[in-house]
Chains A and B, each alone.
Chain A
Amino acid sequence: MNEYDIAVIGGGPAGLAAAIEAKKHGAGTVLLIDREMELGGILQQCVHNGFGLHIFREELTGTEYAERFIKELKELRIEYKLDTMVLSITEEKVISMVNKTEGLVNIKAKAVILAMGCRERTRGAINIPGTRPSGIFTAGTAQRFVNKEGYMVGRNIVILGSGDIGMIMARRLTLEGARVKVVAEALPYPGGLVRNVVQCLEDYGIPLLLNHTIVDIKGKNRIEGVTIAELDENRKPIGGTEQFYECDTLLLSVGLIPENELSKGADVKLDPITGGPVVNESMETTVRGVFACGNVVHVHDLVDYVTEESRTAGRNAARFVNGEAGGYGPVIRTKPGNGIRYIVPHFIRRDKVERSVDLFMRVDRIFTDKKLVVKSGDIVIRAINKAYMRPGEMERINITAESLKAAENLSLTIDVE
């Protein structure tokens, strides 16, 4: 069985950044594995701009952003396998994979970095009533058809859910000559970034109906239309508000789910809220030497943050294989308080924080003119004024190593106050 220092599962932005960073920090043999025919993951179907503002201080398209990392990966001569599916990962870090040229291959790694990304929630998962005709796509599948393969998915479009990919596809399809009639969102606020609401919907005159959902799908062969109704505060349809929209295509942008089937096989503990692995400040999971980064951990809004997080994972995986990881020391637990859905990382080993650590979180509802307050017991470690917070946008707080020393009872709580 071939042995590697580090195996990285997934060649999207997370896997690329992690592999590169690991190599730069002294990992000997690094192998990156991806199931697609090319590296870059979903970035390869993101032809729109808005990538790289934090990392490169310039605005790139998704493909350009990916290209920079792919180039660096190749310059560093990091080994990678494409069109290769990982079938399983064991706790002992034996990875079983299969492809056309080598067949079934097992390798053993000293450290594994999970970077499988996420998948889209489907119609079935949200139980939309109606018939089951063709013409219903998840937004990402439509994006792949339009941007990568050059095919139109339809002409008269309705979009359910206001996730970022859905809104970006509203603009993309409009530019390709299709008519996007409406975007319906069941929640009282948009699912994605405000900048996408403005640049992808408002600028093109596409109506966004908040507190609305689809209550019926019509069409025997191809979809012929949907009925949209307003929802009351318990998210039940209000009788009499139903409106029929004729369409030949329905796009779904109703959420993303971290893809952790392989992680379960490696016995990695998952957080039921994020759907991703429980991790510490080094992005190490509950299995020693198994790291995770990017959307497999929690769904991000911006790829730049994925890159930062993945560099942390790569750097620490290299330390681990080089025997520099050391012991645990005091461990601080992060706890979501009032108004916070989750915090990543879940644990901070105080001695392992060099200068500072970023805490990522999402609020559970809309807040205006509030504070994000980080406390340990009664001691306020950091407080930030926030004019506006909503679940669609991830919040980030930087905590210095110095201030962590105050976390005396080894727990950090974050509240909206």
Chain B
Amino acid sequence: MYDIAVIGAGITGCSIARELSRYNIKILLIEKNSDVADGTTKANSAIVHAGYDAKPGTLKARFNVPGALMYEKLCSELDVPYKKTGSLVLAFSPEEMKTIQKLYDQGIANGVPDMEIIGKDKVHEIDGNLSDEVVGALYARNAGIVSPWELAIALAENAVENGVELFLDSEVTRIEKMNGLYRLHMGDRFAEARFVINCAGLYSDKVNEMVAAPSFKILPRRGQYNVFDKSLGNFVNTVIFQCPSDSGKGVLISPTIHGNIFIGPDAEDIEDREAVQTTLEGISYIWEASARSAKGLKPNAVITAFAGIRARSSTDDFVIGESKEAKGFINVAGIESPGLTAAPAIAVHVADIVKGLMGGLEVNPGFNPVRRRVVRFMELSEEDKRILIKQDPRYGRIICRCESITEGEIVDAIHRKAGARSLDGVKKRVRPGSGRCQGSFCGPRVMEILARELGIDIKDVVKNNRKSYILAGETKDNSLYEDIHDIAAASRKV
């Protein structure tokens, strides 16, 4: 029996599980996929928003600014790369300058620090590649960039280090309300908990409806992106927005925390919550739209495309709180942008809700907020590199040549708590396969390391989920020839 079950190990669920691990309670974190951070968390704009976008009075506004202010400390405790780059919302006409003023006023109302409305010259001083058509911009110094999946992974690891149990490959298909507790069915096994926190992202309405009547709907909205080679790394140095429209914050050009540039996303309402494919139309649209902010990006510098789906709520705001019909069942749903930014603040708020429901919480005396440092070989000094290789020669073997990732880093990513178990799992944690060759060189080597470290056959190494096998068998395998036995029999008769 658990005190609390958290459904969904994306940025929201991982933040809440880790926040609750400060207290002396038994927590279960449940994820339907084979890895944490495998849904919307791994496919979004990766921006820590300053907080001027959200309408004052909304939950988005309430949690955005405090969330952004928590990032510096959080990322330092968890050793997750985060950079305060600042952001620009560009205006291309006097009309749009009015929108800029509105955003500024909204920011002031929301308590956003360090904002300024700037003119064309200052815009070009900040980012020289931006369009000449720009007339001015809103500059928010507090905006930043982060790796959302690395943050979620770090939160999950730290949560597990502090006592949280993690179930992967466990899809909650049915929830039974019992006497003072919930029984969560996951295929043929189940777990029981006194409180349930629904962080099921794109499926949070479905999970809510397992215990209550529909009170909100998730309206999936897809966004597509292109990522560019690091050789274009300083094309822009701040997050570049255009003036927002009804369908979102518009198409961005932004640096990534790992030194690439991306463009995107578009905003397309779709039915299928799994439809993470990119389309010709979507990709052409983000090229057209981003070209308005800056020209000069070339298609031949693209290294990959991806799409993510925002878990937008029909209520047009975050849905946070205990269900009216189901006591002890807390929804944390509709966490679309600025959800990544808000997540740390939401987690503290949810912990307060839990404290209220449980009549206070006892502190976990063993709680350690600090995650064991991650070795990033290429960032070490020459001297430290030498010392490290002497201690562990696996750091002297570079597996990923594009990103210069060593065998030592990969092995560490596999053996940490909530560690990597698949090719994408390794890629999300230490990035081999994220560079320009997209894993065509290092993929087979990473598979060998995974097989060796996990003690499995290399044929059982998967890309991400259980069915995403990579190798189909061995060569010279007779069973490949459907009619081999007939042929053999026929030849014996002759």
Point out the residues of chain B lying under 8 angstroms from A122, CB to CB. Answer: 303-304, 436-438, 440
Point out the residues of chain B lying under 8 angstroms from A100, CB to CB. Answer: 389, 393-394, 396-397
Give the number of chain B interface residues (Cβ < 8 Å).
Answer: 56
Q: Say whether B277 contacts A222, CB under 8 Å.
A: no
Distance in angstroms from B438 CB to nearest chain A CB is: 4
Distance in angstroms from B275 CB to nearest chain A CB is: 8
A120 an interface residue at 8 Å Cβ cutoff?
A: yes
Q: Say whether B396 contacts A103, CB under 8 Å.
A: yes
A177 an interface residue at 8 Å Cβ cutoff?
A: yes
Distance in angstroms from B373 CB to nearest chain A CB is: 20
A152 an interface residue at 8 Å Cβ cutoff?
A: yes
Known: A145-B444, A249-B472. A221 touches B465 (CB 8 A): yes
Distance in angstroms from B412 CB to nearest chain A CB is: 16
A369 an interface residue at 8 Å Cβ cutoff?
A: no
Give the number of chain A interface residues (Cβ < 8 Å).
Answer: 52
Q: Roughly how many angstroms separate A83 CA and B393 CA in the complex, as a whole number? A: 12
Point out the residues of chain A lying under 8 angstroms from B473, CB to CB. Answer: 151-152
Which of the listed residues A35, A104, A144 has the most CB atoms from chain B within 10 Å of its own CB? A104
Which of the 9-residue segments A68-76, A129-137, A199-207, A279-287 touches chain B?
A129-137
Q: Which of B283, B396, B470 contacts A135 (CB 8 A)?
A: B470
Which of the 9-residue segments B81-89, B157-165, B456-464 touches chain A?
B456-464
Q: Which of B404, B459, B472 contacts A155 (CB 8 A)?
A: B472
Q: Say whether A141 contacts B440, CB under 8 Å.
A: yes
A124 an interface residue at 8 Å Cβ cutoff?
A: yes
Q: Roughly how many angstroms separate A154 CA and B393 CA in the complex, as a whole number? A: 35
Q: Say whether B475 contacts A220, CB under 8 Å.
A: no
B280 an interface residue at 8 Å Cβ cutoff?
A: yes
Which secondary structure characterizes the binding site on chain A? mixed
Q: Say whether A101 contacts B396, CB under 8 Å.
A: yes
Q: Say whether B302 contacts A151, CB under 8 Å.
A: no
Point out the residues of chain B lying under 8 angstroms from A140, CB to CB. Answer: 440
Q: Which of A129, A149, A155, A218 contacts B279 (CB 8 A)?
A: A129
A87 an interface residue at 8 Å Cβ cutoff?
A: yes
Q: Roughly how many angstroms separate A217 CA and B394 CA in the complex, as a whole number? A: 37
Point out the residues of chain B lying under 8 angstroms from A249, CB to CB. Answer: 472
Please give me the residue from chain B that is nearest to A219 by CB atom. B468
B476 an interface residue at 8 Å Cβ cutoff?
A: yes
Q: Roughly how many angstroms separate A296 CA and B470 CA in the complex, as a whole number? A: 30
Q: Which of B458, B468, B474 contacts A152 (CB 8 A)?
A: B474
Q: Say whether A98 contacts B305, CB under 8 Å.
A: no
Q: Which of A101, A120, A130, A152 contacts B475 (CB 8 A)?
A: A152
Q: Say whether A150 contacts B474, CB under 8 Å.
A: yes
Point out the residues of chain B lying under 8 angstroms from A220, CB to CB. Answer: 274, 467
Q: Which of B386, B444, B464 contacts A144 (CB 8 A)?
A: B444
Q: Say whether B468 contacts A134, CB under 8 Å.
A: yes
Q: Roughly how many angstroms separate A145 CA and B303 CA in the complex, as a whole number? A: 23
Q: Say whether A103 contacts B385, CB under 8 Å.
A: yes
Known: A131-B276, A220-B274. A124 touches B304 (CB 8 A): yes
Please give me the residue from chain A that is nearest to B383 by CB atom. A104
Point out the residues of chain B lying under 8 angstroms from A133, CB to CB. Answer: 463, 468
Point out the residues of chain B lying under 8 angstroms from A135, CB to CB. Answer: 469-470
Q: Roughly how many angstroms separate A245 CA and B480 CA in the complex, as a whole number? A: 20
5 nearest CB pairs, A to B = A124-B304, A177-B480, A134-B463, A221-B467, A103-B389
- For the complex with contacts A98-B385, A177-B477, A221-B465, 12 further pairs of A-B residues with Cβ separation under 8 Å are A85-B404, A99-B397, A103-B386, A122-B436, A122-B438, A125-B300, A129-B279, A134-B463, A135-B469, A151-B471, A152-B472, A153-B472
- Give B residues with C-beta under 8 Å from A: 226-227, 274, 276-280, 282-283, 299-300, 302-306, 382, 385-386, 389-390, 393-394, 396-398, 401, 404, 436-438, 440-441, 443-444, 458-459, 462-477, 480-481
Query: Could you jot down 24 A-B contacts, CB within 8 Å?
Result: A85-B398, A98-B385, A98-B398, A100-B397, A101-B393, A102-B396, A103-B389, A104-B389, A119-B436, A122-B436, A124-B302, A125-B303, A127-B278, A129-B278, A129-B280, A129-B305, A131-B277, A134-B463, A146-B475, A150-B476, A177-B477, A220-B274, A221-B466, A249-B472
